[in-house]
Amino acid sequence: MPNPPNNHALSLLKNTFGYSDFRGQQADIISQAIDGQDVLVLMPTGGGKSLCYQIPALVRNGVGVVISPLIALMQDQVDALAQLGLNARFLNSTLTRAEVNDIEQQLMNGNIDLLYIAPERLIQQRTLSLLSQLQISLFAIDEAHCVSQWGHDFRSDYLQLSILAQQFPQVPRMALTATADERTKQEIIERLQLQQAKKYISGFDRPNIQYRISQKYNVKKQLVNFIKKNHENDSGIVYCLSRKRVDSFAQHLSQHGFTALAYHAGLSSEIRAQHQKRFLREDKIIIVATIAFGMGIDKPDVRFVAHIDLPKSIEAYYQETGRAGRDGLPSTAWMIYGMQDVVFLSQMMQESKGNEQFKRAERSKLDAMLALCEVTGCRRKVLLNYFNEQASEHCGNCDNCITPVATWDGAIAAQKALSTVYRSDQRFGVMHLIDILLGSNNQKIKQFGHQNLSTYGIGKELDANTWRSVFRQLVVRGFLLVDVDNYGAVKLTESCRLLLQGKQELLLRRDVAESMSSNLQGNKKSKKQKIAIEEVDMPLWLKLKACRKRLADENNVPAFVIFSDATLQEMLIHQPCNEEQMLAITGIGLVKLERFGADFLAVLTQFH
């Protein structure tokens, strides 16, 4: 067992960062690092990973070097530390030669506490030569899952970070990530040479996030309805699979009165940087993005993450939804999906340049993602079980727990669907099969003579949407297979034999129209998704936010860098009258008290 953090670490926690106690495994992790040990940290977003390397870097002699994959975020991380009175800098391609020289001189003089650097710059010979002349307190490798070629955020430059163990064997290394299944965790250990490191794996649960998943029927309408009913005045992220869809949905949301900005690799770096800066620094901004956006985003008050296309794995889904509610306040992870998502992702996998082992692994990940979508029980349980974490049967904060799923006996409908696949020679996609079942009289039916099939018109008791649900669930449960090499044709699998013969029961989930089910606010449990501010407290709340906004503008930083929503809420509840009481508020240390305390006390005094 490591010794508890020393007095210096405890003093930094309280006086610099404004927290009275360490959370979870933070104390053990920090003690190990202070003692010079290598550490692997798997901790959910919002769990306090940054403190795990920041405090040891400050306690130990020398500069802490943080390897971070996103240049665009380094400025904000450095700005946030500056507000705490710390001297942090970054080295990346945005700097002029004169700025680089100045930072290098400060490093040589021992004046910098933390240095942020991208992996591609770190591995340059010039950088390695510079670092070899410095006293380094530790190396922190953030977003360490990027080292995994099996992962969803693979970065080839991370593969070369084993050089740290070879060239700096005496400097402790800490690898940190919020998302890693067992395979990815092992790859991090091997590639970063952390076999001897102490492993800290915190729970993956994010209880403040409400998970909601439903089927697509009118995507743009569904998205607008969700935001208007649940998060009309909040910041959020909307994820799409393609650049074209990003542009289309950003425009659509803007037309409906939202401030929505696009973010994808097809935009210039200047526009991407501008949109990201607005998202971080303004309220009520919605970013519509491909998965190129979000890794390492420090914005704590993202109140919702919406997926309008199916992610290809649970790891990707967990990582992306984890960008909501980093401050621990109620947030929503909302997703809609359909059969076309399955076909599209299956085609992407088939066209991948990976070997057969890689493709099988990707298919397995997609199957797990689909299982999460179709489960009739608690979604959080499925999500946590995927990461080998046990969970209760009912979390009380996912759509299935709030409104239990209705099921129906789908055995006969399944037999009709499977028979239609068989009798049409397993050569057609779902839409044509539904036309056969409904007895449609279109040109394609006539072209192939499918009006003469024995299953023609035998499915009129169900509508097209219900048949789409039947086929989707048959694919997810492994009774049908999508043949991506044959234009999305569905084929029978061996496991459907008993079902076709009427020897197997089948309960299907009954899809409920989104217009009826999407607004869960009527349920008492879901009301906590809104940050609860009593009407009588609203004038003070707005004054506190206005004070924060003014100070943020004056210091040219995002508002949350001054104080988070959670800190403002605590101010609202306790209404401190003096500096001593102000220091008792979580997130307020000595430096922030000195810089901003008087402004907020002046606001609070007006309401005493």
Chain segment 85-144, per-residue pLDDT in tens? 999 999 988 888 999 999 999 999 999 999 999 888 888 899 999 999 999 999 999 888
Spatial distance between the Cα atoms of 238 and 246, rounded to a whole number of angstroms:
8
- Percentage of the chain surpassing pLDDT 70? 93
Classify 290 as helix, strand or coil.
Answer: coil
Q: Are 64 and 58 in contact (CB under 8 A)?
A: yes
Phi, psi of 312, rounded to the nearest 5 degrees: -85, -5
563-569's contacts with Cβ under 8 Å and 24+ in sequence apart are 563/587, 563/588, 563/592, 563/596, 563/600, 564/300, 564/301, 564/327, 565/300, 565/301, 565/327, 565/329, 565/531, 566/300, 566/327, 566/328, 566/329, 567/18, 568/541, 568/544, 569/329, 569/531, 569/533
Q: How far is CA 586 from CA 254, 353, 558, 589, in A?
A: 36, 50, 19, 8
Q: Whole-prediction pTM value? A: 0.74
* pLDDT at res. 295: 58
Phi, psi of 214, rounded to the nearest 5 degrees: -150, 180
Structure tokens at 44: 């959910």
User: For the purposes of burial, counting CB atoms within 10 Å of the CB of 529, is it exposed (0-12), middle (13-18) or buried (19 or more)?
Assistant: buried
Question: Per-residue confidence at 204, pLDDT binned at 50, 70, 90?
Answer: confident
The full set of domains in the chain, from first to last, is 7-201 (3.40.50.300), 209-402 (3.40.50.300), 407-511 (1.10.10.10), 535-605 (1.10.150.80)
- Closest Cα to residue 44, out of 21, 25, 69? 25
Secondary structure (DSSP) of 136-149: EEEEEE-SGGGG-T
AA identity, residue 356? E
Least confident of 220-229, 345-354, 370-379: 345-354
Spatial distance between the Cα atoms of 43 and 383, rounded to a whole number of angstroms:
15
Which of 12-16, 180-184, 333-337, 377-381: highest mean pLDDT?
333-337
AA identity, residue 256? H
Q: Write the DSSP symbol of residue 5.
A: P
Does the pLDDT of residue 46 top 90, yes or no?
no
Q: Are 354 and 151 in contact (CB under 8 A)?
A: no
AA identity, residue 295? M
Does the pLDDT of residue 524 top 50, yes or no?
no
Question: Per-residue confidence at 20, pLDDT binned at 50, 70, 90?
Answer: confident
Start-to-end CA distance of the chain, whole Å, equals 48
